[in-house]
Structure 1
């Protein structure tokens, strides 16, 4: 047998050296992986199986001035399915559809309308209802936590507050105007998902959700209710097209109520009608009629075109200006300024305006807020129209005196009369509650002029005045009626179609509150501002005065009773609106 040669000793040494070197290399690489690059590699691995799940964020609530809720976010559930898994559970679809209150065909449509691994079958339903469905333990059916907006005041404040879409973003009203303020920042939590992307376990929040900020309005929910119901009653009683009203604090500019009718239910928008969603107090413009006469007189007094004791002969059936015939409904002889307002004389107002440089009247109206935005920032707000004075011919100058040739909103009227009530100082309206209500404004007329207008406007609501139905027993009320014929867009006017208005403030001796009421297109009864709009003012203002703790004056209670007994026939005559229609 041949003898095998012995292997060289160095070969064994080389093998052991190679093994040792390999082992050392592995150890070095393991050390580098565990120590030097450990965190990096762990993060890379986590990215391949950890996912970030969004956490629902709470939208900020909206409150009235007393902390009563006007908009809240309530917890709800959303149901979704993985179509690839859920489609294999057809035998359980009838039960799911029945619990959702839909047909199996509708359920199938919702499943197929989604993506390959995700489809909504029910958005924002009550948690109890969702739990009943998830308790069926149907493979591929899951739930999400969400929030849904709820509006406790319903239609009463709907055009003002607006609403959000299903994703919680404001799309109308204050919800849109303050969307950034109310919207919080969604959070995230980290967890594991399976191959289908379904959550398996959570590892705690990566970023906590930041809720939106609360918004406290100047609105008083009780007064909002009173204004809305009284306005709705007037619109229904006179079968009008629509109405709007604004109640303000004359000194601070805070809006206490802003209502529109008809409105909508923000908690159920299944019967969506676009016309119901307008905030008519800021969006609808109209020729205001006789409620503009106080500003005509103020402009004439301020530039001394007339004196406070001036009188005007209005004893004519037709005061002709250019090709137009200006008329009063009741013929008078000589009227002083107080009587021009009390009897709403168009002829008197036109004569005053024709004595006044048009630039001065334009400047007065512009300073009073007409022809420009109020600054509230609400979507859909109109600035109205106030044509430049350089284009006014003699007919336009006369018509502007009694509220034709320009267009305004109810909010603009309330704010402008607020300047008269506030001793001639215009304060911009605000919907946000003021912690320090000592607001600064802009003087638009001397305090003496505002005082005279206040005194004269008090006569409008007294016996024989066109606005006596706005009077409140025990309180002095200053105000003005307006009835304007609606233009037809063809250079003329619609026959028997009018807008009716009343704007006033109380108590006249120390004004605190101002209100504008507009009822558009009444078709039944006496269609005059003193009949249709004035009672809405009376009901709402009486409630507001009581709410603010302003007590009635006993002396005024006695005088009101005596005046009512002494002038019943005259009162009835003016209650029917005689003397207030503008032509």
Structure 2
């Protein structure tokens, strides 16, 4: 048998591979497996934290949970400032920057210039950038209806002030982040603002929210703040003051109403004011809280404290009289004059007729240290403690530097600067039988005893109460402050405005009235200042006193203070009180534009 013929031919594919080739193949596979294992080690062990963080950046978002700011309430629980829900539109720049072609569409929906939108989108952080804030919910819904990847909304709050301009300088306002900027909002910011929270949310590759995966600390809402302010008294004070400023074409005005016994501030107003719900035209220099921030030389409203200091230290007694029958009472190189020449006046008449000469004579009899002490103890030259930002302390120069001319001038309100709030608190001490109570914006619970400090003897305070009631009588300068059915005590002031150069303007004045009612058992005190009236009568008794009458009349009713004089008796006494000139002014309703 042929051996070669018996063996079939081998196919080329069936040829046996060399052994070294198999070894190479196995080695390559082994190296690949090792590389895969090394890479897996690096990914799952060495770089696990980094990769998880990178993944979270793409699919997780840490979102703030805003805290609702606490409401500001008046003494009866009526809101003066509240927060309402609004929406903010924000973007994830990593997604939103790939939607440039749709930016004009979003800008149109938000009513934003396109450059503004571009600046905000590129000016935020890597994950979060605000585009628009404090939007009405319906507009935010329209934006989300565009379905632009990387665009989201967030619920936040916007501050709303129901009284508008009536309480704006007092309350102040908040910025877009809900932080107090002025007034009560700034003074009590920590109390009102609350603490924001945080949550972590999961989103898909298009940036759409899927679920909340982790709640951080929850938002803690701000606490409500109950003020001593009565919104109705605030309204009456503001409208009366605004009417007087407009009627007499004055520069500005301010007023304070305060409870004599508790120090609670029931109204604190300034005019002109602004709309805190729309602050496009807001200018701090024009619309500040003048009742606490503006100081001025008050004029004759300081005379009761000159008399109180002299009575307290025995320099004069209640029966002292003063010869003012001169056209010029010369002190150093100055000539002190009265508007009308009088003869011999007692203390009641010095106040009733507002005699500068009489007040100067009293001051010159009084040791300057004693007058200085009286002015300081009733609150002048220092902040009141009410806690409002921007409050000015005023000035009471150290008595050691007083010249004889300054001693005389300070007796009738020059050489000293005060605020309307200080005036109200100081007169409150007279009305409170000589006990000074610090002004407060916080409501005092009924029956709570408020601690004060005695600043003058009881008898001195009561004598002053009676003499100040005479200012509202026949021939007195404050007759336009009279309130039907109530006895009233108070004092007028008309002072020349400082020109900033060490002198005074000839034809520019500040007009003031400070008073309390009922005079026989005082409950409320009010200070009114109208600055630089330019039309009509420019006296405190004509410009400022009617603001007191309109406001105090409403306040007494609102605080349930009963009339202390029957209407028939009041009318009869009022007819006897007024001179012919006063009757004419009363009939003409001078200063009554507020009514």
Note whether the superposition's TM-score is higher than 0.5: yes
Q: Distance in 2 between matches of 1:56 and 1:434?
A: 32
Is the contact between residue 62 and residue 198 of structure 2 (CA under 8 Å) also seen in structure 1?
A: yes
Residue 285 (structure 1) aligned with residue 299 (structure 2): no
Q: Secondary structure at the match of 1:479?
A: strand
Who is 1:127 aligned against?
Answer: 137
Deviation, structure 1 residue 486: 0.8
Change in 2 beyond 3 A, CA 1:367/1:563: same
Residue 513 (structure 1) aligned with residue 497 (structure 2): no
| Deviation readout 1:113-153 (Å, 9 max, x if unpaired) | 44555432211111111111111212222111111111111
Instruction: Summarize the alignment of residues 210-221 of structure 1 with structure 2, pairs less than 5 Å apart.
Output: 210-221=220-231
TM-score using structure 1 length: 0.88
Residue 276 (structure 1) aligned with residue 302 (structure 2): no
Q: Secondary structure at the match of 2:253?
A: strand
Of 419, 431, 435, the match for 2:441: 431
Deviation, structure 1 residue 85: 3.7
Q: Flag the structure with larger Rg.
A: 2
Who is 1:12 aligned against?
Answer: none
Query: Cα RMSD between the aligned structures?
Result: 2.5
Q: Distance in 1 between matches of 2:255 and 2:448?
A: 22
Change in 2 beyond 3 A, CA 1:107/1:51: closer
Change in 2 beyond 3 A, CA 1:71/1:47: farther
Instruction: Summarize the alignment of residues 213-252 of structure 1 with structure 2, pairs less than 5 Å apart.
Output: 213-252=223-262
Deviation, structure 1 residue 487: 1.3
Is the contact between residue 474 and residue 576 of structure 2 (CA under 8 Å) also seen in structure 1?
A: no
Q: Secondary structure at the match of 1:538?
A: helix
Q: Distance in 1 between matches of 2:252 and 2:204?
A: 57
Residue 141 (structure 1) aligned with residue 155 (structure 2): no
Is the contact between residue 77 and residue 145 of structure 1 (CA under 8 Å) also seen in structure 2?
A: yes
Q: Distance in 2 between matches of 1:298 and 1:488?
A: 30
Change in 2 beyond 3 A, CA 1:120/1:477: same
Instruction: Summarize the alignment of residues 66-465 of structure 1 with structure 2, pairs less than 5 Å apart.
Output: 66-83=76-93, 85-89=95-99, 92-115=102-125, 117-193=127-203, 199-435=209-445, 436-465=447-476
Number of equivalent positions: 540
Of 476, 484, 508, the match for 1:497: 508
Moved more, 184-193 or 524-533: 184-193
Q: Distance in 2 between matches of 1:421 and 1:151?
A: 34
**Uncovered stretches (5+) of structure 2, i.e. residues with no partner:** 1-44, 589-595
| Deviation readout 1:270-311 (Å, 9 max, x if unpaired) | 112122341111100000100000000011111111110111
Moved more, 107-116 or 199-208: 107-116
Q: Distance in 2 between matches of 1:86 and 1:152?
A: 38
Q: Secondary structure at the match of 2:286?
A: helix
Is the contact between residue 194 and residue 200 of structure 1 (CA under 8 Å) also seen in structure 2?
A: yes
Is the contact between residue 476 and residue 556 of structure 1 (CA under 8 Å) also seen in structure 2?
A: no
| Deviation readout 1:502-527 (Å, 9 max, x if unpaired) | 00000011100000000111111111
Q: Distance in 2 between matches of 1:494 and 1:143?
A: 58
Q: Distance in 1 between matches of 2:565 and 2:391?
A: 42
Of 486, 495, 499, the match for 1:484: 495
Is the contact between residue 121 and residue 130 of structure 2 (CA under 8 Å) also seen in structure 1?
A: yes
Deviation, structure 1 residue 198: 7.1
| Deviation readout 1:330-374 (Å, 9 max, x if unpaired) | 111011100000000000000000000111111111000000111
Q: Distance in 2 between matches of 1:260 and 1:365?
A: 25
| Deviation readout 1:530-574 (Å, 9 max, x if unpaired) | 011101100110000011122223436433345337745141578
Of 542, 558, 565, the match for 1:531: 542
Q: Distance in 1 between matches of 2:50 and 2:451?
A: 58
Q: Distance in 2 between matches of 1:428 and 1:196?
A: 61
Moved more, 160-169 or 402-411: 160-169
Deviation, structure 1 residue 90: 5.1
Change in 2 beyond 3 A, CA 1:105/1:191: closer
Deviation, structure 1 residue 92: 4.1
Of 540, 555, 569, the match for 1:544: 555
Who is 2:477 aligned against?
Answer: 466
Is the contact between residue 487 and residue 565 of structure 2 (CA under 8 Å) also seen in structure 1?
A: no
Deviation, structure 1 residue 185: 1.2
Change in 2 beyond 3 A, CA 1:180/1:130: same
Change in 2 beyond 3 A, CA 1:162/1:557: farther
Change in 2 beyond 3 A, CA 1:506/1:69: same
Q: Distance in 1 between matches of 2:367 and 2:571?
A: 40
Moved more, 74-83 or 288-297: 74-83
| Deviation readout 1:385-424 (Å, 9 max, x if unpaired) | 0001111110010001000000000000000000000000
Deviation, structure 1 residue 94: 4.4
TM-score using structure 2 length: 0.86
